[in-house]
Amino acid sequence: MKKQAIIGSTIINGTGSAPLCNGTILIQGGKILEVGKADQIKLGPDTERIDATGKFTMPGIIDSHVHVTPNQDVPNDIRINLRVGFNSISLLRQSLGAGVTTVVSIGGGPPSVELTNAINEGYVDRCANQITAGVVNASGGHVRGRHADGPWEIRKAVRELASAGCTMIKTAATAGFQWEHERVHWPDYTEEELTALVDEARMRDMPVAAHAHGHEGLKYAVNARVHMIHHGALIDDEGLEAINKADLYFVPTLFTTSIGRVAKVEQPWTKERMEAAYPIHREGVSKAHKMGTKIALGTDGGAGDAMIELSEFVDCGLSPMDAIVAGTRNTADALSILDRVGTIESGKDADLLIIGKNPLNDINVLQNQDNIDLVMTHGKVQTTSNEMKVYLNPRLDGPPRRIVRVNVDM
């Protein structure tokens, strides 16, 4: 199998260690074989070289909270489902072009599993990798998915979603901004119910993300040992201390209350709640960083909004390096996929970005797609700038042809 090498760039490996100047990344079979200085790695004459001299190579960004599709309770209508699927492919392709190589479809549920499989098997190309989360929600609660109340019905719901192919669970521990009838401080589930959900998910190796803005519901989620708290827009010191003590990940989704996002909100009650949360949200992230809380990236936004989230992190006091680690290594760890992606290390998938400008000097350069010269997933160049288009195969390819035989009585 032919080898590839990215040569000449400064490597920001996602672990937080010092950048490696004039580095080489050797790739084979979609995996990283070696990483080191140019004079440490011997390249054979048949190795395909990608010249990134003067540029910066980093892991692809991971967004752990995107509504790639509507909620999983989409009507069972083939026309609607086809439209949802086409829209999903478009969003995942745009995400990839923006430098986001893995996206969690946070509310997709079983209908999204087939798209995830199609991407993994090569039937749909040039898309960001997708992880499918199934939603378990309380009756009348904030999120919409598999309605379940009480510990045993909740356990059944998790089992159903696992058997349908979902690899992650999302739930809501508190209400939110969206629905007029709800109040943000309302808990959605009791601690007993959340504990049953997390216990069942952990038995199936499914990480659990809990929508929680603060108050009692957030504490219930922490006590239940969810893997990560998403949002925390109204989080207080007690909530931050609880997350820290439990060693959980905080995924603040600052994009949800960002000025640009709020300006587009039409419902007056939602806009009012988001505007009120804006300073509290950012103060919470700033405190979390100073406390040493594990921070990961999710946006509750769309294609490429992860790059805005990185800038929001820096505005809250994280260094550009801290922000990149949050959006790569930490998010992979929160999603239990750090063995495959998130850093540039031997044995990992070659999901990589080549950047024309130094993001450690200015994290905002990642918001401009013109600065993203090349995006690679599984060792395959997926999209490039004009400058590096020589490395992009213009031909469409797909998985090996399969002959499906159907026995028919004649």
Residue 15 has pLDDT above 50, yes or no: yes
Contact predicate 188/205, CB 8 Å: no
Residue 363's domain comprises 3-59+343-391
Token pair listed for 9 = 């760039």
pLDDT at 82: 79
pLDDT at 277: 93
Residue 58 has pLDDT above 50, yes or no: yes
pLDDT at 180: 86
139 and 33 co-located in one domain: no
238 and 355 co-located in one domain: no
User: Stretch 238-260: mean pLDDT, rounded?
Assistant: 96
214 and 165 co-located in one domain: yes
Exposure string for 77-107, b = 16+ CB within 10 A, e = fewer: eeeeeeebbeebbebbbbbbbbbbbbbbbbb
pLDDT at 268: 92
Contact predicate 128/100, CB 8 Å: yes
pLDDT tens by residue, 68-122: 987 656 667 777 777 888 899 999 999 999 999 999 999 888 889 999 999 998 8
pLDDT at 399: 67
pLDDT at 276: 93
Residue 227 has pLDDT above 90, yes or no: yes
Distance CA 236, CA 109 (A): 31
pLDDT at 72: 58
User: Stretch 381-390: mean pLDDT, rounded?
Assistant: 95
Q: Percent of the chain beyond pLDDT 70?
A: 95
CATH of the domain at 305: 3.20.20.140
The answer to the question of residue 404 being in a domain is no
Residue 354 has pLDDT above 50, yes or no: yes
**Tally of CA atoms within 13 A in the half-sphere of 242 that contains its CB:** 21
The answer to the question of residue 48 being in a domain is yes
CA nearest neighbour of 26 among 15, 101, 46: 46
Alpha helices per DSSP H over 292-402? 305-315, 320-325, 331-334
pLDDT at 77: 73
Q: Identify which has the larger pLDDT, 46 or 71.
A: 46
pLDDT at 305: 97
Contact predicate 243/263, CB 8 Å: no
215 and 191 co-located in one domain: yes
177 and 33 co-located in one domain: no
169 and 307 co-located in one domain: yes
Distance CA 125, CA 393 (A): 12
Structural domain count, the chain: 2
User: Stretch 13-26: mean pLDDT, rounded?
Assistant: 98
Q: Tell me, what DSSP letter sits at residue 187?
A: B
The chain-wide mean pLDDT, for the chain, equals 93
Structure confidence at residue 410 as a pLDDT band (50, 70, 90): very low
User: Stretch 49-65: mean pLDDT, rounded?
Assistant: 98
12 and 128 co-located in one domain: no
Contacts of 45 (CB under 8 A, 6+ apart): none
Count H helices and E strands in the chain, helices first: 11, 17
